[in-house]
Structure 1
Amino acid sequence: MPLMGNPLCAAALLAFVVISVLVSLLIGSLQHGSKAKSGYVSNGTLGEEFAPRHGELIYQLNERRKEIMPLLATAGQGSRGQPSASSLFPQQYQPPAADSDLGPRSELTDGSGLTGVDEMGCDSLVDVRAVDILGSGYTKLVVRVFLSEDQPAALKFVNEQGSDMEKCLQEFEDPRGCYELVSYKLKKEIVLLQRLQHPNIIKLRGHCMEDAGGGEEEGEGERGGGRVTAILEQGHPLQMIQLLQSPWEERFKVCLDLVRLLHFLSRSPLGSVALLDFQPRQFVTVSGELKLTDLDDATVEEPACQTDADCTLQFPHRHFSLPCSARGVCEGLNEKRNLYNAYRYFFTYLLPHQAPPGLTHLVDHIMNSTGELRADINQTLEAFEHILLLYKSGLHLDNLPPSILKDYTVMHGMRTSGSVEYRCWLSYTHQGCVLSVHNATEAASICNSHSQCTTFCLTGERTWSGRHLASFYSGFSSLVPDGMSEVYLRKASPPETATV
């Protein structure tokens, strides 16, 4: 089992994962011996001396409930494939009496009507094998696992050792009530993932609700403290340092995926959605696609306002003002918040560097319009799609003379063997020079600009945009047959350096 980070820290976290996932979620045999210590007497009821401080806890629980209910309201009651509000939260959370339990559970349940949405439930976790930890935060823990038949997945559940749980326990001394409170973020995220389905949002494969006591004792299914697990498709954390060293085409795709996502969020089934915690760490990649994986801090309501001063976006070095609409709402504020965050966290670092010369003026236009919020998300997406069209079609290369290929001898149906490689900047491989090209003419122009280059080879490999991958060499020992490849050998000494 591979470990991540400091061995002792990783071992401790993995031990917690095994206990939480394999015992609490799968076996369901966690005992309730800690109830007396936390303010519960032996029969599971709340001690009278803890009732006053529980008033605040119950208030916070009901506030979390109110936050989630609007997300369910638009789904309709009992609509096929959508969660029912009444089944998700049967009734308002009520304060417990000294001789009663905490009251009805405010949680997702197996009978909530979610089976039409989720592919997987608790049964899918029977043979789970934890592999390593993908991430941990104040509220949640994410673990990479293999399910039955070696299906890879990511499990997301409440971090019972996180700071949110620790803070709640210090204030209320109620593990069961605190778990209920902290778990609301994960419950909210499950609902949002069900409602907001898009290629650039992580896919929710299912969820599981397990009673802390496994339902072994009579009435356990009606008590609070049920453990929540989200079953997600597995992604890889976005590595910005590596991305900065990637070819421009790959960095452009990340930005394009992000803009397509923000366009969807601006007019989602829930309305305009703002990502309040907008950071690269909230995203992963799945098979080369950028996907949003953390939605618990998303809001689906435009801010209310009384004056224009209420509609101000504050950023560390900039602020933007919008008018307060006649109906008392800052219309478009969510969209602009997302767009400017995309500019300052993604576009600034990924988009301009090493952009193709024929596209730099269009890239600069995007940078200026988003950095000043002069364009909306529709205009920004249109600008990105226009760049993609030019890049895929090669129309940005109209200044390259076709005669440049006269300097090369072409051998069709062949590839090099015993090639002498050299490294170039932003290559698709670290050991050689492999770049994306539209055609042989662009490849020849690149080879002419490299003093080491004497040969390049076009294979059948293509990038996500459909462009060819070309390998550049300073020499080779022989040629071998390959019906999918072409080798271009420079005829004479390297010409003057060309501009690509």
Structure 2
Amino acid sequence: MRAGRAAALVALLAAGALLAPALGVEPPALLRELSRRLRDVRRLAAGAGAGRRGARGAAGALGCGDLRRAAAGPELGAGLTKAVRRAELPGGRALALKAVHGAAGGDVSRCVRRHRAPAACRRLAAYKLLKELVLLRRLRHPGVVQLYGQCYDNSAHPDIRVTAMLELGSPLEMIQLLQTTWEERFKVCLSLVKLLFYLAHSPLGSIVLLDFQPRQFVMVDGNLKVTDLDDASTEELSCKDDNDCMLDFPTKSFILKCSAAGKCEGINEKKNLFNAYRYFFTYLLPYTAPPGLQPFLSDILNATGDLRYGINETLRAFEKVLHLYKTGIYLQKRPPLLQEYISLQGFRTRETQDYKCWPSYSHLGCLLSVHNAEEAAGICNSQPQCQSFIVTQQRTWTGRPLAAFRSHLPDLIPDANAAIYIKRSASSREKL
């Protein structure tokens, strides 16, 4: 039965059978807004093959019965329209519950003050969440938070109560992200670019995130995902000439081309891209980047900041940087440094606290991503404390090994798959 719930909901949305407002004497302006949002939900539900099984894992989709059995946890966040709460299903499966914020939310309270129609105002906010449900079902991408299911309750006539059951993520903390390694920050930016590429070519057409802010994203198992889609739009600006295609930002303005079809060419993807530049790329890309990659990163920043690149060109530029980084081509040529080290094959060091470096993958010492032992030797030479290092078996998301750097000659443990590199000068002092 659960497999049919998702398809049934989409069909009902498209037909409007459950969404027809129970209208009383609501003010005309509120009625117009209700009708507009209802048309928006119907249009999206009818698009991109509304009759298909659109939800990931629809055969195991959650419903109202699961919601009633879930143990509610703390509130994770709240915006103008919706609040998100942690919950746990029997068996320990954690998820996020998203519902209309109600009287405490800015959207509903502002609407009530203006129109004096609480039920219609709550319905207006519910349409916004219903729109998000439709989009989450239609947009299947690793950069979109996963929808596990929903509960739709129309029994409290004339209210409608909608709860979305979502993949649980943690809020994106930019300050915390700035303290991570460059490789992890590049991963976040690359994930965002892949998401924007998908949105530009989605089954519903080019989609713009109208409320593009870091708070619209979460981290799930180290991966960036958009979690708030109620302000997304598939509509592209109509125009008569280029002057109608103005993109205004706080620091810059752009005029795009008006196509022969009377639409501003690429306006949705360009708006997403510039927001990605000003909220993410500017802060996350250049800081502590490998010197050999900095010219390529500067090109990306300049081209996206001036909107000379579209999303296709931006993705190609990011993939080029990733290729250079993974293959080690970015490394600057210099005299071999590894000859300054004694290699002890078949040994590793005991994990103990040592000197710290920044940014490190470990709080106990200096653990950095390297291409190979030669690059690790260069890093060790640049750090006065470093006397030895070991290239570990740990790998980052790019497949690069992590190297642990030490300030002293540690106790050695036999390990057939490991090797430790000791500065010849340090070895000589030890003998003395």
**TM-score calculated relative to the size of structure 1:** 0.77
Mapping for residues 46-445 of structure 1, pairs under 5 Å:
51-76=24-49, 79-82=51-54, 116=58, 119-160=61-102, 161-211=104-154, 213=156, 223-397=157-331, 399-401=333-335, 403-417=336-350, 419=352, 421-445=354-378
- SS class of match (2:362): coil
Counterpart of 1:281 in structure 2: which amino acid? R
Structure 1 Cα separation of the partners of residues 418 and 135 of structure 2: 47
Give the drift of 1:177: 2.0
Counterpart of 2:211 in structure 1: which amino acid? D
Point out 4+ residue stretches in structure 1 off by more than 4 angstroms. Answer: 114-118
Q: Which has the larger radius of gyration?
A: 1
Give the drift of 1:51: 4.9
Aligned length: 405
Distance 1:261 1:76, change over 3 A: closer
Structure 2 Cα separation of the partners of residues 242 and 361 of structure 1: 26
Structure 1 vs Structure 2: percent identity of aligned residues?
50
Give the drift of 1:453: 0.3
In structure 2, stretches of 5+ residues that fail to align are 1-21, 428-432
Give the drift of 1:52: 4.2
- SS class of match (2:337): helix
Partner of 2:420: 487
In structure 1, stretches of 5+ residues that fail to align are 1-45, 84-113, 214-222, 495-500
Structure 2 Cα separation of the partners of residues 68 and 418 of structure 1: 56
Give the drift of 1:199: 0.7
Structure 2 Cα separation of the partners of residues 417 and 493 of structure 1: 18
Counterpart of 2:144 in structure 1: which amino acid? I
- SS class of match (1:141): strand
Q: Which moved more, 1:168-177 or 1:385-394?
A: 168-177
- SS class of match (2:43): helix
2:26 and 2:117 in contact (8 A); partners too: no
Structure 2 Cα separation of the partners of residues 61 and 413 of structure 1: 71
1:82 and 1:117 in contact (8 A); partners too: no
Give the drift of 1:53: 3.8
Structure 1 Cα separation of the partners of residues 39 and 362 of structure 2: 51
- SS class of match (1:421): coil
After superposition, the CA RMSD in angstroms is 2.1
Partner of 1:5: none
Q: Which moved more, 1:66-75 or 1:157-166?
A: 66-75
Structure 2 Cα separation of the partners of residues 278 and 260 of structure 1: 16
1:145 and 1:152 in contact (8 A); partners too: yes
Distance 1:119 1:418, change over 3 A: closer
Give the drift of 1:163: 1.1
1:181-201 per-position Cα deviation (integer Å, ceiling 9, x unaligned)? 111111111101111110111
2:48 and 2:204 in contact (8 A); partners too: no
- SS class of match (1:192): helix
Counterpart of 1:147 in structure 2: which amino acid? L
Q: Which moved more, 1:349-358 or 1:475-484?
A: 475-484
Counterpart of 2:132 in structure 1: which amino acid? E
Structure 1 Cα separation of the partners of residues 253 and 237 of structure 2: 16
Give the drift of 1:263: 0.7
Give the drift of 1:82: 4.7
Counterpart of 2:90 in structure 1: which amino acid? S
Structure 1 Cα separation of the partners of residues 364 and 57 of structure 2: 49
Counterpart of 1:57 in structure 2: which amino acid? L
- SS class of match (1:397): coil
2:72 and 2:85 in contact (8 A); partners too: yes
Distance 1:171 1:463, change over 3 A: same
